[in-house]
Amino acid sequence: MRSLFALATVAIVLFSAVLPASASVVSGPEYQVIESVGSGGTGHYTVINNSDDEYIYAFSVTNPLAPSVKDWTTEKGWTAGKTPLLRGPKDGFWYGTLPGIPTFSHHHLGFFVNPETIGPGEQSSNFFFGTDQLASIVTLYLVDEDGKFSTTTFTAAVPEPSTWAMMILGFVGLGLMTRYRRRTALSA
């Protein structure tokens, strides 16, 4: 019995190491954030805006499994940093640009959206991170052409491949243990 348990434990560890997570999609009806891990523990985010009238001017990613991370972006006009800004472990990233500026012309208050935001129908893959752990929560910061601000938050709902592998092997192990116990109960 102990050897069976030890064998199952070794198989779970080896199987989860063979199938590390390489991509995670966090999405809603109008937005997608695709997180891809590349070689050397470096990856990037692809942010896709499928909305009709909102612009993405910032997003943050919470990753409690990665307390020590690097972040950077090559997106023109954007900057990157770690979160939270004060106190606590740095378990997330933020990327952002100026949303725009209020305008006033002909006695009418308006809003000029920064062209460096990710607008309707646009996407960008120029947001990088330096950890091999995929995120769990993504918050998008949005602005529309009237200067109305909003946020939307998504949580990754699909387990990583290594999680599926461990769960399947766990069920196999439970099945084998049940079968072994039945055999010993019948023979007694």
Cut 0.75: pTM above it: no
| Three-state secondary-structure class, residue 80 | strand
Residue of higher predicted confidence among 4 and 117? 117
- Looking at residue 127, what is its pLDDT? 86
Number of compact structural domains in the chain: 2
CATH number for the domain including 80?
2.60.40
Considering the domain architecture, whether residues 80 and 64 belong to the same structural domain is answered as: yes
Among 52, 138, 61, 127, residue whose Cα is nearest residue 97? 127
Model confidence band, residue 119 (pLDDT cutoffs 50, 70, 90): very high
Q: Is residue 158 pLDDT above 90, yes or no? A: no
Considering the domain architecture, whether residues 106 and 164 belong to the same structural domain is answered as: no
pLDDT tens for 13-37 read 444 444 445 666 777 889 988 888 7
Considering the domain architecture, whether residues 4 and 53 belong to the same structural domain is answered as: no
φ/ψ (deg, to 5) at 11: -65, -40
- Looking at residue 18, what is its pLDDT? 46
Q: How far apart are CA 39 and CA 127, in angstroms?
A: 16
- Looking at residue 1, what is its pLDDT? 52
Compute the half-sphere exposure of residue 92: CA atoms within 13 Å on the CB side of its CA.
16
Residues 6+ apart with CB under 8 A from 128: 42, 43, 44, 45, 71, 72, 73, 74, 80
- Looking at residue 181, what is its pLDDT? 78
Considering the domain architecture, whether residues 58 and 132 belong to the same structural domain is answered as: yes
- Looking at residue 160, what is its pLDDT? 59
Considering the domain architecture, whether residues 165 and 82 belong to the same structural domain is answered as: no
Q: What is the mean pLDDT of residues 35-53?
A: 83
Considering the domain architecture, whether residues 11 and 45 belong to the same structural domain is answered as: no
Considering the domain architecture, whether residues 36 and 121 belong to the same structural domain is answered as: yes
Considering the domain architecture, whether residues 15 and 70 belong to the same structural domain is answered as: no
Q: Percent of the chain, pLDDT > 90?
A: 25
* Tokens matching residue 182: 């039945």
Considering the domain architecture, whether residues 135 and 178 belong to the same structural domain is answered as: no
pLDDT tens for 137-154 read 888 999 999 999 999 988
Q: How far apart are CA 135 and CA 156, in angstroms?
A: 8
Considering the domain architecture, whether residues 16 and 27 belong to the same structural domain is answered as: no
Considering the domain architecture, whether residues 106 and 178 belong to the same structural domain is answered as: no
The domain containing residue 2 runs over which residues?
A: 1-21+160-188
Considering the domain architecture, whether residues 57 and 8 belong to the same structural domain is answered as: no
pLDDT tens for 63-95 read 766 555 566 788 899 998 877 666 666 667 889
Q: Is residue 6 pLDDT above 60, yes or no? A: no
pLDDT tens for 161-187 read 666 677 788 888 888 888 877 777 666
The total of other beta-carbon atoms located within 10 Å of residue 162's CB is 16
- Looking at residue 143, what is its pLDDT? 94
